């Protein structure tokens, strides 16, 4: 394998991509990083639709990457339930394309997967537990893991939990959804307390990946923030960090409350433990409350 100094990031226009691009140019240098996405929402992005193996290979031929970070995915679970073929094409075939081309062009592949591949039968999951994906999003992401594991000998797979990051512009997930409700004047927030997970700060996640891949300990890793919680716990913590605990009420509800809006099946628990990283002495992830405290600064000034 050649030294990893020429970097291709696919799907870099999203919430993780923002942190990943920043950390990658710090590590490898601006001139060695090519960031791509289907959605060109930054001047530093160029076009790559990972569903097309021809388009993906053209970038391999032109850029000659020695390492490929495959972030690209459709991450809206409800969209995936309604657009199953596109979920397979993007999340499963996109990952397959990345693996086939990485092998053909002798690049190291780093694939991002999700805690959502577990079925919720257990309270928490180590890297050694067997996935049981419930939604089409989870099934298509898990397919990517399985293909890469069978097809490549040297690879990295990192599973993230509930992603936090990207700020007001790019965060499509829970923190920004709560922020938008506050911003629009809501004084009472209804938040589920029957879904458990492990928040994952994009800044820590990207930073840790770039450290772990230097270890040469290839394979699959759970990589989430330390600690775990319910969605309700995250909302309460976020409101407190914003200094709004006295003016905004957070009311517990169960998932039925949102069953029409969030109809994709979700596990009751998708809590991950960074068991392998910890055993190998390369767990660099901080506690989720420390990370949320840092992240909340991006929202605090706007309220
Ligand atoms: N968000 C989470 O909570 C979470 C949790 C665990 C794991 N992950 C994984 O982390 C990775 C990064 O996701 P993220 O959190 O940064 O979500 P994101 O903000 O949705 O970023 C994913 C990016 O991929 C792009 N994309 C979609 N289809 C594509 C295609 N055919 N070709 C190229 N790019 C395409 C998206 O564009 P559009 O915006 O136009 O769709 C988006 O810019 C994904 O692999 C995801 O499965 C995410």
Asked whether 73 lines ligand 1 (CB < 6 A), one says: yes
The answer to whether residues 234 and 174 touch, using CB atoms and an 8 Å cutoff, is: yes
Which positions of the chain have pLDDT values less than 70? 1-4
Task: Find tokens 């990893």 and name the residue.
Answer: 4
Asked whether 225 lines ligand 1 (CB < 6 A), one says: no
Q: What is residue 5's predicted lDDT score, i.e. its pLDDT? A: 86
Query: Which residue owns the Cα nearest ligand 1 atom 12?
Result: 71
Q: What is residue 1's predicted lDDT score, i.e. its pLDDT? A: 43
- Closest ligand 1 atom to residue 115 Cα is 6
Q: What is residue 303's predicted lDDT score, i.e. its pLDDT? A: 79
Cα 291 to Cα 289: distance, rounded to the nearest angstrom: 5
The answer to whether residues 44 and 35 touch, using CB atoms and an 8 Å cutoff, is: yes
- Closest ligand 1 atom to residue 76 Cα is 20
Q: What is residue 157's predicted lDDT score, i.e. its pLDDT? A: 98
HSE (CB half, 13 Å, CA atoms) of 51? Answer: 11
Q: Is 284 exposed, middle or buried (CB count within 10 Å of its CB: 0-12, 13-18, 19+)?
A: middle
DSSP per-residue letters across the chain:
---S-SEEEESTTSHHHHHHHHHHHHHH-GGGEEEEESS--STTEEE--TT-HHHHHHHHHHH--SEEEE------HHHHHH-HHHHIIIIIIHHHHHHHHHHHTT-EEEEEEEGGGS-SSSSEE-TTSPP---SHHHHHHHHHHHHHHHH-SSEEEEEE-EEE-SHHHH--SHHHHHHHHHHTT-SEEEEESS-EE-EEEHHHHHHHHHHHTTTT--EEEE---BS-EEHHHHHHHHHHHTT-TTT-EEEEE-GGGGTTTS-S---SB-EE--HHHHHTT---PPBHHHHHHHHHHHHHTT-
Q: Dump pLDDT digits (tens) for 205-219.
A: 999 999 999 999 999
Cα 196 to Cα 168: distance, rounded to the nearest angstrom: 24
Q: What is residue 280's predicted lDDT score, i.e. its pLDDT? A: 97
Asked whether 71 lines ligand 1 (CB < 6 A), one says: yes
- Counting ligand 1 atoms within 8 A of each CB, the residue from 11, 69, 93, 139 with the most, and so the one to mutate, is 11
State the distance from the centre of ligand 1 to the C-alpha of 173, rounded, in angstroms: 11
Exposure class string for 24-41: b at 16+ Cβ within 10 A, else e: bbebbeeebbbbbbbeee
Greatest CA span in the chain, whole angstroms? 58
Show me where the domains of the chain are located.
7-166+198-227+271-286
Q: Given the DSSP bridges, would you call strands 249-253 and 108-114 parallel, antiparallel or unpaired?
A: unpaired
Provide the CATH topology of domain 7-166+198-227+271-286.
Rossmann fold (3.40.50)
Q: What is residue 287's predicted lDDT score, i.e. its pLDDT? A: 98
DSSP per-residue letters across 190-209:
EEESS-EE-EEEHHHHHHHH
């Amino acid at each position: 394998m050649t030294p990893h100094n020429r970097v291709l990031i696919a799907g870099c226009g999203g919430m993780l991509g923002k942190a990943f691009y920043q950390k990658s140019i710090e590590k490898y240098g601006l001139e060695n990083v090519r960031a791509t996405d289907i959605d060109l929402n930054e001047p530093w992005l160029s076009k790559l639709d990972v569903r097309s193996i021809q388009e993906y290979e053209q970038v391999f031929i032109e850029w000659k990457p020695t390492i490929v970070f495959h972030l690209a995915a459709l991450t809206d679970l409800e969209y995936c339930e309604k657009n199953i073929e596109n979920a397979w094409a993007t999340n499963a075939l996109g990952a397959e394309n990345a693996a086939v081309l990485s092998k053909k062009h002798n690049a190291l592949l780093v694939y991002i997967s999700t805690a959502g591949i577990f079925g919720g039968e257990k309270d928490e999951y180590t890297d050694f537990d067997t996935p049981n994906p419930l939604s089409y999003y989870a099934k298509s992401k898990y397919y990517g893991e399985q293909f890469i594991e069978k097809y490549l000998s040297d690879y990295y797979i990192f599973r993230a939990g509930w992603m936090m990051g990207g700020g007001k512009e790019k965060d499509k997930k829970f923190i920004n959804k709560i922020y938008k409700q506050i911003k629009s004047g809501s004084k009472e927030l209804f938040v589920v307390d029957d879904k458990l997970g492990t928040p994952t700060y994009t800044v820590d996640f990207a930073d840790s990946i770039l450290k772990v891949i230097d270890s040469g300990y290839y394979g699959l890793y759970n990589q989430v923030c330390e600690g775990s919680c319910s969605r309700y716990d995250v909302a309460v913590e976020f409101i407190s960090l914003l200094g709004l605990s006295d003016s905004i009420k957070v009311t517990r509800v169960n998932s039925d409350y949102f069953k029409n809006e969030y109809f994709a099946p979700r596990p009751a628990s998708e809590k991950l433990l960074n068991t392998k990283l910890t055993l190998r002495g390369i767990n660099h992830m901080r506690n989720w409350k420390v990370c949320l405290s840092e992240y909340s600064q991006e929202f605090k000034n706007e309220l």
